[in-house]
Amino acid sequence: MTDTRSSNQRGRPRGFDEEQVLAAAMDLFWRKGYDRASLIELSAATKLSASSVYNAYGSKLELFLTVLDRYLDTVDAVMLGPLEHGTAGLADIEVYFARIADVAEHGGGRGCLAMNTIVEFRDAPAAVEERTQRYLRTLGRALTVAVERAARAGEIPAGNLRERVETLSAAVLAAYVLIASGNRTTEANDLLRAVMCLVRAGGDGRDAGTGAVPADNPSHAG
C-alpha cells in the first residue's frame, strides 16, 4: 500500500479520533461518490473544519485515498482473503457470493466502494488507478486460486479455467453495479446464481458429469 501523505503529515499528532473521522468520511464517499461529496459535507460528517481536513490529510483526494486504502484492507481480510486461502473450491466461491448478498442486503444499496470508484472515474488520478487495479488483481487472484482448487477436486473440468475466472470476475463486478444502481439485489443474486451454474458446466450450459442442464439450486445463492 502506498501512503501518499508527506512525512510531516504522517507524523503530525491527531487532535481527533481518526477512526471515527475515517468511518464518517468512508460512509459519505461510499454513498455519494468522490466528486459529489463536497468539502462542506465532509466537514459536517467528520466534525472537522475544512482547514483541519487539509491540515490532517492534505486534500480531499488524500482523504479519499486514505479511506480507500482502509476499505481495500477490509475487503482483503473479510471478503477476498478467505476466498483465496480457503480449502474448498466451488463452496468457497459460493460463500464469497453469499457475502456479496449480505453486503447488498445490509449495505443500503451502496455496492462496493472500489467498484463504485472504477465506475465514477473515467480518467482516474494515478493514485486512484493504483488502488482500483490492486482491487481487480486481488479479486482475480482469489477467484483463480478457488477455481484451481475446484478443478483439482474434480468439481469442474480442468480446461477453460481462465475463462471461468473471467466469467466470475465479470459477474462480481456486474453484480456490484446492479446493487449500487438502485439496490437491485434480486437481479444481482440471480446473476451470480446463473454464473455459478455456468462455471459448474462443461462449457455448453450442461453439467459436466451428467450432461443435464443444472437446476436452479437455492444453495448456490450469492
Give the CATH number of the domain where residue 89 resides: 1.10.357.10
In a domain, 6, yes or no: no
CB 131 within 8 A of CB 68: yes
Q: Does pLDDT of 98 surpass 50? A: yes
| 195-211 pLDDT tens trace | 999 888 754 333 444 33
> What is the domain extent for residue 131?
68-220
pTM above 0.85, yes or no: no
In a domain, 81, yes or no: yes
What is the mean predicted confidence (pLDDT) over 86-101?
94
Tell me how far apart the alpha carbons of residues 221 and 14 are, in angstroms, rounded to a whole number: 44
In a domain, 188, yes or no: yes
In a domain, 196, yes or no: yes
What is the mean predicted confidence (pLDDT) over 157-166?
90
Instruction: Using CB atoms within 10 Å of the CB of residue 14, give its burial: 0 to 12 exposed, 13 to 18 middle, 19+ buried.
Output: exposed
Mean pLDDT of the chain: 84
Q: Does pLDDT of 168 surpass 90? A: yes
In a domain, 10, yes or no: no
Q: How many domains does the chain have?
A: 1
